[in-house]
Amino acid sequence: MPSVRSAGSLGRYARIYGALWRNSVTRETMFKTNFLMWIFVEILWFALQLSFIGVLYLHTDSIGTWTKWQVVMLIGASHFIQQLYQAFFLINCSNLSELVRSGKLDFLLLWPANTRFIVSLRQVDLGAFVNAGTALAIMAYAARQLQLVPSFGQIAGFLVLCGVGILVHYSLMFMLAAISFWTIRAQGIVWGYYNLFQIARMPDEAFSGLFKAVFTFALPMLLVSNVPVRLLTSKLASVELPLIMLGMAVGCWFASQWFWRVSLRRYTSASS
Structure confidence by residue, pLDDT tens digits, 105-128? 998 888 888 999 999 999 999 899
142-182 per-position pLDDT tens digit: 999 999 999 999 999 999 999 999 999 999 999 999 998 88
Q: Please tell me the distance from the alpha carbon of residue 161 to that of residue 87, in angstroms, as a whole number.
A: 17
Q: Residue 192 pLDDT > 70, yes or no?
A: yes
* Domain membership flag for residue 12: no
Q: How does the average pLDDT of the chain come out, rounded?
A: 89
More confident residue, 58 or 268: 58
Q: Look at residue 7 in the predicted model and tell me its pLDDT.
A: 57
pLDDT of residue 11: 84
Q: To which H or E segment does residue 8 belong?
A: helix 2-30
Given a contact cutoff of 8 angstroms between Cβ atoms, the answer to whether 81 and 166 are in contact is yes
Q: State the sign of the Cα–Cα–Cα–Cα dihedral 134, 136, 142, 145.
A: negative
Confidence of residue 271 (pLDDT cuts 50, 70, 90): low
Task: State residue 1's pLDDT score.
Answer: 39
Helix (H, G, I), strand (E, B) or coil at 22: helix
Measured CA to CA, the distance from residue 25 to residue 63 in angstroms comes to 42
- Split into its structural domains, the chain has a count of 1
- Residue 98 forms part of a structural domain: yes
What pLDDT is attached to residue 160? Answer: 97
- Output the furthest CA–CA distance in the chain (Å, rounded): 66
For the chain, the distance separating the N- and C-terminal CA atoms, rounded to the nearest angstrom, is 41
Residue 228 backbone phi and psi in degrees, to 5:
-60, -40
Q: 40 lies in a domain?
A: yes
**Any domain includes 73:** yes
Query: How far apart are the C-alpha atoms of 125 and 233, rounded to whole Å?
Result: 30
Which carries the bigger pLDDT value, residue 4 or residue 52?
A: 52
- Per cent of the chain over pLDDT 90 is 54
Structure confidence at residue 2 as a pLDDT band (50, 70, 90):
very low
- pLDDT score at 198: 86
* Residue 115, domain member (yes or no): yes
Q: How far apart are CA 233 and CA 71, in angstroms?
A: 11
Q: How far apart are the C-alpha atoms of 140 and 242, rounded to whole Å?
A: 22
Tell me: pLDDT of 4 over 60. Answer: no
For CA atoms 124, 127, 133, 135, give the dihedral sign: negative
Rounded Cα distance between 146 and 142, Å, is 6
3-state secondary structure of 172: helix
Q: What is the DSSP letter of 63?
A: B
* Mean pLDDT on 28-49: 85
Residues 248/166, Cβ–Cβ less than 8 Å:
no
Give the tens place of pLDDT for each residue, 57-95. 988 888 889 999 999 999 999 999 999 999 999 999 999
Q: Is 258 contained in some domain?
A: yes
Within its chain, how far is the Cα of 13 from the centroid? 22
Answer yes or no: is 272 within a domain.
no
Tell me the percentage of the chain whose pLDDT exceeds 70. 96
Over 60: is that where the pLDDT of 6 sits?
A: no
Q: At 5, which amino acid appears?
A: R
Does 245 fall in a domain? yes
Q: What residues contact 230, with CB distance under 8 A and at least 6 apart?
A: 236, 241
- Which residue range forms the structural domain that includes residue 158? 31-266
